[in-house]
Amino acid sequence: MRQIQCTYEHNPDFSVITGAFDWCYAMINGIPRQTRHGQTEWRCGDDEEYRPSSLSTLSLDVLFASKLQFVTDPATENWLKFQSLVSQWRSERGAMSSITEMVMLPTYQKIIGMGEDAIPLILAQLKSEGNEPDQWFWALAAITSDNPVKPEDQGDFPKMAQAWFKWAEEHDYAW
């Protein structure tokens, strides 16, 4: 297989692209099988196990060899940008314990720099994290110039998240 060297001003997270392609391929061409643990596993044929690594490598090779362009809507572009920044931010911060240091990292500041477009994305991320929400409150406060969290709830992250969800509903944000 021919190897292609790609350079970008900003390196995209190909794991997101590859994972999405693998999932789509298996969903379209695969056959669902139940594992003994009750999970669904996709296979390409009756007895053939799906192997995403070779297909993913080939798909990315074909993608860049043919110089295809993707047309996406602004909402999708914002979501992809946000997910890439979240991944970079979590990688950069590691096990950092200082919230102030975490939110001063350049990638977190880029999320804030997305402005109002980031609000529904942050809210959706916050919702997906359940009872262990990450440090999105600083970004929400910086973007909205608001803080709906009661003083007695500061530091209680699940309650802080609920306050922001209520704020979002009152301000007609869909996420």
Question: How many domains is the chain partitioned into structurally?
Answer: 2
Residues 93 and 166 in one domain: yes
Mean pLDDT per 10-residue run, the chain (175 residues)?
41 52 54 60 50 47 53 84 95 92 96 96 95 95 97 96 96 85
Kindly report whether the global pTM for this prediction surpasses the value 0.85.
Answer: no
Question: Are 82 and 59 contained in the same domain?
Answer: no
Q: What pLDDT is attached to residue 119?
A: 96
Q: How far apart are CA 117 and CA 112, in angstroms?
A: 10
pLDDT value at residue 158: 96
- Residue 126 has phi, psi (to 5 degrees) of -60, -45
128 and 85 in a single domain? The answer is yes
Do 161 and 141 fall into the same domain? yes
What pLDDT is recorded for position 66? 52
Residue 19 pLDDT? 54
List the domain range (segments joined by +) for residue 102: 74-170
In a domain, 44, yes or no: yes
**Same domain assignment for residues 113 and 153:** yes
Q: 166 is written with which tokens?
A: 């209520």
The 3 state secondary structure assigned to 28-90 is HHCEEEECCCCCEEEECCCCCECCHHHHHHHHHHHHHHHCCCCCCCHHHHHHHHHHHHHHHHH
What pLDDT was estimated at residue 173?
Answer: 85
- pLDDT score for 73: 83
Is 141 found in the same domain as 84? yes
Q: Which of 33, 66, 99 is the last residue of a domain?
A: 66
pLDDT of the residue at 7: 41
CB < 8 Å & 24+ apart, contacts of 54-60: 55/21, 55/22, 55/25, 56/18, 56/21, 56/22, 57/1, 58/1, 59/18, 59/21, 59/25, 60/14, 60/17, 60/18
Structure tokens at 143: 């973007």
What sign results for the dihedral spanned by CA atoms 124, 128, 130, 134? negative
